């Protein structure tokens, strides 16, 4: 899960989503302030995380899924799709805590911020435990707030009722995917099949397919269009996650906001790593990979050595080929359906921005 740059922005969508998030979080800050000033760090951290970055991909796919299904532009829909950013924030905050990631978008992760706050204030107890508590609470708040923001959208209750099942399944599936990821790391499961399952539920479905279906449900789309959106969204979401996996090993820290090779230190059993383990044939190559996975002290030279093994095994080339295959499948599915207005063009652009990126 890695977000930072800004892709296609038709209809001023990104700034409109940002304004809705700012308005909603300001109301939450006021509520916290009415309770106790000690809650200010929670408000600060939530605002910094939610408002400070992100491609806003999920609101974009939801909005253009809605418009492609014939839905008219309206402010209530912007509020509804903006709620997806709170789901994303909660998932990322928890993900960083689970993976013990110290950074996100070049800044300290939320649990690290609260760890530092505890240390600076010379409070009692363990700083790491306090940091984890802060991250769990803020992540949970974001997930609760996503419900709140959706219901405050002002959309007709009947519209919300038909979209709600997609919203609920999306949030459930990303949590199930998170657990599958954790258990795969705990077991040391390195099969490409398992990595693909994790990617599908932890990222692919809730990045593209479910937002598209959420938008379609808001517009009252028929089953044929929903099926087409799934045929487009699922392979595209998988391609998005595979690009994330490549960047997790080969990305430039100046662009990704994460240290080089951070996925290796976290022991992520990604499709890329699974292929490398399966195909590595050089003397000691597989052992080097296994030793590197989950080693928090992995240095830059060791990361470079692992990169070389992955390249020589053919895993990087095979992953790039898989990305292209998925992209072709996704776009072919999109082009088989007729959408309203400029939605097809925009979804093509969003697909390219999702997959051909450096952050």
The enclosing domain of 217 has a CATH number of: 1.10.600.10
pLDDT digits (tens, 9 = 90+) for 258-288: 888 888 998 888 999 999 999 998 889 999 9
Percent of residues, the chain, with pLDDT higher than 70: 97
Q: What is the rounded CA–CA span in Å between residue 14 and residue 8?
A: 9
Task: Please give the average per-residue pLDDT across 238-252, as a whole number.
Answer: 93
Whether 58 contacts 6, CB under 8 Å: no
Closest CA to 77 of 246, 282, 216: 216
Whether 341 shows a pLDDT value over 90: the answer reads no
Burial class (CB in 10 A: 0-12, 13-18, 19+), 135: buried
Sequence-separated (6 or more) residues with CB below 8 Å from residue 283 = none
Whether 50 contacts 22, CB under 8 Å: no
Sequence-separated (6 or more) residues with CB below 8 Å from residue 201 = 173, 174, 176, 177, 180
pLDDT digits (tens, 9 = 90+) for 56-102: 999 999 999 999 999 999 999 999 999 999 999 999 999 999 988 89
Whether 1 shows a pLDDT value over 50: the answer reads no
Whether 156 contacts 74, CB under 8 Å: no
Q: In which domain, by residue range, is 18 found? A: 10-355
Instruction: Return the pLDDT at 64.
Output: 97
Whether 114 contacts 133, CB under 8 Å: yes
> Structure tokens of 3?
């977000």
Instruction: Return the pLDDT at 258.
Output: 83
Inside any domain, residue 28: yes
Q: What is the rounded CA–CA span in Å between residue 54 and residue 193?
A: 29
Instruction: Return the pLDDT at 3.
Output: 40
Inside any domain, residue 252: yes
At residue 107, what are phi and psi to the nearest 5 degrees?
Answer: -120, 160
Whether 4 contacts 105, CB under 8 Å: yes
pLDDT digits (tens, 9 = 90+) for 199-212: 899 888 999 999 99
Inside any domain, residue 1: no
Q: Give the bridge partners for 108, in sequence order.
A: 103
Q: What is the rounded CA–CA span in Å between residue 66 and residue 40?
A: 36
Instruction: Return the pLDDT at 259.
Output: 83
Whether 350 contacts 7, CB under 8 Å: yes
Counting the structural domains of the chain, the total is 1
User: How many alpha carbons fall within 13 Å on the CB side of residue 255?
Assistant: 12
> Structure tokens of 278?
């399966």
Note the pTM of the prediction, 2 decimals. 0.93
Whether 309 shows a pLDDT value over 90: the answer reads yes
pLDDT digits (tens, 9 = 90+) for 14-59: 999 999 999 999 999 999 999 999 999 999 999 999 999 788 999 9
Instruction: Return the pLDDT at 335.
Output: 96
Inside any domain, residue 56: yes
Mean pLDDT of the chain: 93
pLDDT digits (tens, 9 = 90+) for 158-197: 999 999 999 999 999 999 999 999 998 888 887 888 988 9
Inside any domain, residue 3: no
| 8 pLDDT tier (thresholds 50, 70, 90) | low
> Structure tokens of 139?
């992540």
Whether 359 shows a pLDDT value over 80: the answer reads yes
Task: Please give the average per-residue pLDDT across 137-152, as a whole number.
Answer: 97
Inside any domain, residue 39: yes
Inside any domain, residue 264: yes
| 11 pLDDT tier (thresholds 50, 70, 90) | low
3-state secondary structure of 338: coil
Euclidean distance between the first and the last CA atom of the chain, given in angstroms as a whole number: 10
Q: State the alpha helices, DSSP H only, in the chain.
A: 13-35, 40-51, 57-68, 75-99, 110-121, 127-151, 157-187, 192-199, 210-219, 223-250, 253-256, 262-265, 271-279, 285-292, 300-313, 315-335, 343-355
Inside any domain, residue 2: no
Percent of residues, the chain, with pLDDT higher than 90: 81
Report the Cα 33 to chain-centroid distance in Å. Answer: 30
Instruction: Return the pLDDT at 6.
Output: 44
């Amino acid at each position: 899960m890695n977000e930072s740059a800004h892709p296609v922005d038709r209809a001023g969508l990104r700034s409109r989503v940002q304004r809705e998030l700012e308005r909603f979080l300001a109301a939450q800050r006021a509520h916290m302030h009415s309770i106790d000033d000690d809650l200010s760090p929670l408000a600060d951290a939530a605002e910094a995380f939610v408002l400070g970055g992100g491609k806003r991909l999920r609101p974009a796919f939801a909005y253009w899924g809605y418009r492609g299904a014939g839905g008219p532009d309206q402010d209530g829909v912007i509020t509804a799709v903006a709620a997806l950013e709170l789901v994303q924030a909660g998932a990322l905050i928890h993900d960083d805590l689970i993976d013990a990631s110290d950074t996100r978008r070049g800044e300290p992760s939320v649990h690290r911020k609260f760890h530092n706050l505890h240390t600076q204030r010379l409070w009692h107890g363990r700083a790491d435990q306090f940091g984890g508590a802060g991250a769990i609470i803020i992540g949970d708040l974001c997930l609760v707030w996503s419900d709140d923001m959706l219901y405050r959208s002002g959309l007709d209750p009947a519209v919300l009722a038909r979209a709600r099942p997609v919203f609920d399944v999306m949030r459930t599936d990303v949590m199930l995917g998170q657990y599958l990821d954790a258990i795969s790391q705990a077991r040391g499961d390195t099969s490409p099949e398992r990595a693909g399952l994790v990617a599908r539920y932890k990222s692919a479905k809730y990045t593209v397919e479910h937002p598209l279906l959420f938008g379609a449900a808001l517009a009252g789309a028929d089953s044929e269009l929903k099926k087409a959106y799934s045929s487009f969204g699922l392979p595209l979401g998988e391609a998005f996650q595979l690009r994330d996996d490549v960047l997790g090993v080969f990305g430039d820290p100046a662009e990704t906001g994460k240290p080089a090779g951070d996925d290796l230190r976290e022991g992520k059993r990604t499709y890329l790593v699974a292929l490398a383990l399966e195909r590595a044939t050089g003397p000691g190559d597989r052992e080097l990979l296994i030793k590197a996975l989950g080693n928090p002290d992995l240095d830059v030279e060791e990361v470079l050595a692992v990169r070389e093994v992955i390249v020589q095994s053919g895993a990087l080339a095979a992953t790039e080929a898989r990305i292209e295959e998925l992209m072709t499948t996704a776009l072919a599915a999109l082009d088989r359906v007729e959408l309203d207005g400029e939605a097809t063009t925009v979804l093509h652009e969003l697909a390219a921005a999702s997959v051909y990126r450096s952050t």
